[in-house]
Structure formats: structure tokens, C-alpha cells
Amino acid sequence: MLGVLQVEVKGSGHVTPALAFLSALEQRFSSWKGERALMIYLLVHHEVADYPAWKSIFDSSLDWRTHHGERSCRIFRGVQNPNELTLLFEWENVEKARAFISSDELKDRMAKAGVKTTPRVEYLTEMFSIRRSAAD
């Protein structure tokens, strides 16, 4: 028999069913509007001519990207085509992310790095995450 997953908010003294807790958490996030900005994620897909050449230019641009709001980046390569890239960035806020993505300087740097296709960019906010540990 399956039990109902429950969450105890530390120090509250009461237990709430997990789905109700998540719903309440989501409402709280949506009610903040301006009190606290949520981290913005950019999911970028594009193909490059040569990964090592692209990566060298990408790495040399770290300070420039950080100055414009990047907080972290993860790079994924296609299994079938290692020159097909998906990048997951954390960005300071959506305004800075949009300004960066639309900048002429980014377009120039991407061309020099050998980006072959028009990037597909998605702007995201994280609403829920499950992270497993080795103990699970």
C-alpha cells in the first residue's frame, strides 16, 4: 500500500501532505512579484563547426558573460553529433539575459566561434527539483 508523502516544515510542528505543500510553495513564489527575483535559466541549442575551437572562444568569454549576468553554465553535447550543443545557463535576471542574447557583440562572438545554426533560446524559471544521492 502506498502512503502519502508528507512534508514537515522545520520548526512548524505540523506535517502537510507533499502535494498541498508544493501547491502552497508555488503560490508563494507567484505572489512574490518583485519582492525577490527568481533565478532565470536560459536553455540554448545550436550547432558548432568544431567543438574544441568553439570551447576555446567560449572559455575566453567567461568574464564578459559574468559581467552581463551569467551565474553558471552547463554544456551538453549530442550523442549522435558532438557538435550539437545544449547549454543551460543560470542568469541574474530576465532583463539582463534578454539584453545579452540580443546583443550584437554576442552575435559577433558566436560567428567567430563557428556557431553554424541560429540558436534556439528558451527562458525558464525552476519550479521544482529532485536531486538523488548515492544513498537513495
Host domain of residue 75 = 40-125
> Which tens digits make up the pLDDT trace of 10-54?
555 655 555 554 455 455 554 444 445 578 999 999 999 999 999
Range of weakest confidence among 5-9, 42-46, 56-60, 93-97: 5-9
> Which tens digits make up the pLDDT trace of 43-58?
999 999 999 999 999 9
Look up the pTM and report it.
0.69
User: b/e per residue, 5-37, with b = 16+ CB within 10 A?
Assistant: eebeeeeeeeeeeeeebeeeeeeeeeeeeeeee
In this structure, what CATH number is given to the domain that contains residue 64? Answer: 3.30.70.100
| Residue 99 domain-assigned (yes or no) | yes
| Residue 93 domain-assigned (yes or no) | yes
- pLDDT reported for residue 39: 84
